[in-house]
Amino acid sequence: MTQNTDATRPAWTVRGTDRDEYPEVLRVVGEALLIGEDLDAITERMRPLHDAAGYDRVLVAVEGEGPAEEVVGSTNHFPFEMALPGGPRAVAGVTGVGVWPTHRRRGVLSALMRRQLADIHASGGRYAALWASEGAIYGRFGYGPAVTEVETSVQRQYAGLRPDAPRDPALVVRLADPGRVRDDLARVHREVAAAQIGQFRREEHWWDKFLRDKPDARDGRSPRLAAVVSGPDGPLGYALYRTLNKWEDDGSGGEVHVEEVAATAPAAWTALYEHLFNRDLTSRISFAFLAQDNPLRHLVVDRDRVVPKLYTSLWMRLVDVRGALSERSYAAPVEAVVEVSDRYAPWNAGRWRIGADRGGARVEPTQDAPDVSLDVSHLGAAHLGQTSLTGYLRAGLITEHVPGAVAGLDAALHRVDAPFCGRIF
Ligand SMILES: CC(=O)SCCNC(=O)CCNC(=O)[C@H](O)C(C)(C)COP(=O)(O)OP(=O)(O)OC[C@H]1O[C@@H](n2cnc3c(N)ncnc32)[C@H](O)[C@@H]1OP(=O)(O)O
């Protein structure tokens, strides 16, 4: 149990919770996040995820004792299997973080984070990941920005695909209610998620959540649609989207809003984009989440009409530096001593000798002089192979004791494929 030791403030402690107390947790987190929804509605929405995952990973900070006890903050994590460099791994998907507005900036979150990391570590966890509401929050807790994704839109008049985009006349696109083609969606996603770094295996309760479609949450848009592209051997891709019925003085101005698009074959991407770009009465097609290397900008006639807006999705945290670096895959051989600082998970702090090549890695504690000194958040940022350590070096945030050591680490950690999560959890 973590105790606030500042005698000038009311004491609060960190402890676990249970199913009965959960609505109270949601009340606090919902208010902190400005959810603006009735508590019953939030509870109804969130219950199934927790009933499936259990309540034992939810932590609360409470103030007072007995009947006067009140929840003033909370954090939670879901058990995910996520594709990481090296293969699918158990990752703690941290979410539901909030502190009651009158109790902010007193160290409540810091205590919750410290306890949560200790709990994940004690249960053998090596990684945590989250989507941050604000980029300023999680660096201090050892999380680094590991995935940059793209939001974009294209005017229909410029949404033409190249004549040489791969097309397969054997492919068929079917438009349906997502519930009717859920097995097809799951089949495609299973294949994509197994290989794409940053995706987590989507269990049934997560499909339930992502396919929920309450009319009051549509923001004036249509019910969700699923376009599924299939070949003779089954589904090869899908797009989940909504339309918006809109009219301007000079005619139809409808919109297509794509929530998720996934495919396992080049011609399937073409078929899906042709479907999305050819809805009558529309003038704009938007994409909420795309990987940075999604084929879209290669397939359109004029890539500059598809302007990417970048955002950070996953923040990664190496909960067990040695374990995580030992089981990672490497793109190039590397031999380096890395000195790690870690305020919130002290078992990671110290010097680690990393010896790795394409066949595997050894990571051992050492007292040898370091080649590089950095914070654990930098390792988390670089772990998925997209964020470079060189950027931090240029910014003066990590120290290179041996010239070229950071470049050597970057070459080894690099991935040619862009990581992508695409779903806020
Ligand atoms: C994965 C997710 O769930 S993301 C959702 C996160 N939740 C939200 O955004 C909801 C609204 N915000 C909140 O509930 C709270 O402000 C929280 C959870 C972000 C922070 O909780 P607090 O208890 O105030 O944090 P705590 O007091 O432990 O702060 C620790 C340090 O982080 C800093 N900090 C905390 N939040 C922020 C922020 N939003 N921006 C910048 N700095 C911050 C504090 O200033 C403090 O710095 P210091 O150690 O130099 O003094």
Q: Give tens-digit pLDDT for 240-270.
A: 999 999 999 999 999 999 999 999 999 999 9
Predicted local distance difference test score (pLDDT) of residue 11: 79
Q: Measured in angstroms, how far is the CA atom of residue 137 from the centroid of ligand 1? A: 5
Look at residues 39, 10, 32 and name the one whose alpha carbon lies nearest to residue 76: 32
Which residue, by CA, sits nearest to atom 28 of ligand 1? 107
Q: What is the mean pLDDT of residues 55-65?
A: 96
Say yes or no to pLDDT of 6 above 90. Answer: no
Give the number of the atom of ligand 1 that is nearest the alpha carbon of residue 138. 32
Q: Return the CA Rg of the chain.
A: 23
Angle CA 36–104–20, to nearest 5: 60
Predicted local distance difference test score (pLDDT) of residue 400: 98
Domain coordinates in residue numbering, the chain: 2-125, 149-311, 321-413
**Domain 149-311 in the same topology as domain 2-125:** yes
Cβ contact 314:128 at 8 Å: no
Cβ contact 181:418 at 8 Å: no
Tell me if the pTM is above 0.90: yes
Q: Please, what CATH class does the domain formed by 2-125 belong to?
A: alpha beta
pLDDT band at 9 (very low <50, low <70, confident <90, very high): low
72, 109, 114, 314, best to mutate for ligand 1 pocket (most atoms within 8 Å of CB):
109
Q: Give tens-digit pLDDT for 10-20.
A: 579 999 999 99
Predicted local distance difference test score (pLDDT) of residue 220: 95
Q: Give tens-digit pLDDT for 306-318.
A: 999 999 999 999 9
Give the number of the atom of ligand 1 that is nearest the alpha carbon of residue 132. 4
Q: Please, what CATH class does the domain formed by 321-413 belong to?
A: alpha beta
Neighbours of 110 (CB within 10 A): 14
Tokens representing 302? 């004029």
Where in the sequence numbering do the catalytic residues fall?
138, 425
149-311 folds as Aminopeptidase (3.40.630)
Predicted local distance difference test score (pLDDT) of residue 232: 97
